[in-house]
């Protein structure tokens, strides 16, 4: 205040514009990328978690179930919930290799008349996943031969224990005579060979709601 003026000097505080603030405090591009990809990564983890839980729950639920031939080399295991009368069914097809991954098998898990999970279990050490899925989940690219047709697929790599197959391949193999799966291992590619012919398709349709389709 000037002496004798009787008036106080007005102090003006400048207001920073939003554009200026952004330039002074820039948002790191890596943070933006993390924010964009976090939902995708979470979705991928949920997919793998769900597959693991379904397989684990089905393995436990099938303990003490009744076993029966489902035609050909297929076996069917059935358990009925005592309270809800809901039927859980597992179809298994063992590999017929004389050497290599001879303990490999195909497993179909079904509940309440619907397919819950179909997986390929090599029963040997697999290589690390070699590609991301749509949601960022780890996958392994495999080559599949169904009868006289072959194609490449990305199957979800679940904790290094098994590969979750797609439903399209599952429908193809239940009506096929020849099934071969080439997958990666630390020692190089391996091929698991199966003979899915002879499966009682009526059983599969009733338990899983699946019908075969041409490759």
In the predicted model, is pLDDT for residue 138 greater than 70? yes
As a whole number of angstroms, the distance between CA 146 and CA 177 comes to 8
Region 101-111 average pLDDT? 87
Give me the pLDDT at residue 42, please. 42
The answer on pLDDT for 57 being more than 90 is: no
Q: With 50 as the cut, is the pLDDT of residue 55 above it?
A: no
pLDDT at 214 over 70: yes
Q: What is the DSSP string of 158-210?
A: ETTTEEEPPHHHHHHHHT-S-EEEEEEETTEEEEEEE--TT--HHHHHHHH--
- Cβ 134 vs Cβ 166: under 8 Å: no
| Domain ranges across the chain | 48-208
Section 52-67 average pLDDT: 57
Q: What is the pLDDT of residues 112-129, one digit of tens each?
A: 999 999 999 998 999 999
The string of pLDDT tens digits covering residues 154-178 is: 999 998 889 999 999 999 999 999 9
List C-alpha distances in Å: 148 to 165, 180, 196, 214, 215.
19, 11, 14, 11, 9
pLDDT beyond 70 at 22: no
Query: Which residue's structure tokens are 């960022």?
Result: 136
Six token digits for residue 91: 């179809």
What predicted TM-score, i.e. pTM, was given to this entire model? 0.71
pLDDT > 90 in the chain, percent: 57
Q: How far apart are CA 4 and CA 100, in angstroms?
A: 103
CATH number of 48-208: 2.60.40, 1.10.357, 3.90.1690, 1.20.1300?
A: 2.60.40
């Amino acid at each position: 205040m000037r002496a004798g003026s009787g008036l106080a000097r007005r102090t003006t505080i400048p207001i920073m514009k939003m554009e200026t603030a952004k330039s002074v405090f820039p948002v790191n591009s890596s943070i933006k990328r993390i924010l964009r990809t976090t939902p995708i990564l979470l979705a991928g983890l949920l997919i793998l978690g769900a597959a693991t839980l379904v397989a684990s729950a089905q393995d436990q639920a099938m303990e003490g179930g009744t076993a029966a031939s489902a035609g050909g080399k297929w076996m069917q295991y059935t358990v009925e919930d005592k309270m809800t009368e809901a039927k859980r069914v597992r179809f298994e097809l063992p590999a017929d290799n004389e050497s290599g991954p001879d303990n490999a098998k195909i497993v179909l898990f079904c509940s309440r008349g619907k397919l819950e999970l179909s997986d390929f279990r090599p029963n040997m050490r697999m290589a690390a996943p070699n590609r991301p899925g749509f949601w960022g989940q780890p996958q392994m690219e495999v080559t599949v031969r169904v009868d006289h047709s072959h194609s490449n697929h990305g199957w979800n790599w679940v904790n290094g224990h098994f590969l979750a197959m797609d439903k399209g391949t599952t429908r193809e193999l239940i009506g096929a005579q020849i099934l071969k799966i080439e997958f990666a291992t630390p020692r190089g590619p391996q091929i698991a060979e199966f003979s899915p012919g002879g499966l009682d398709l009526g059983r599969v349709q009733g338990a899983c709601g699946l019908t075969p389709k041409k490759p």
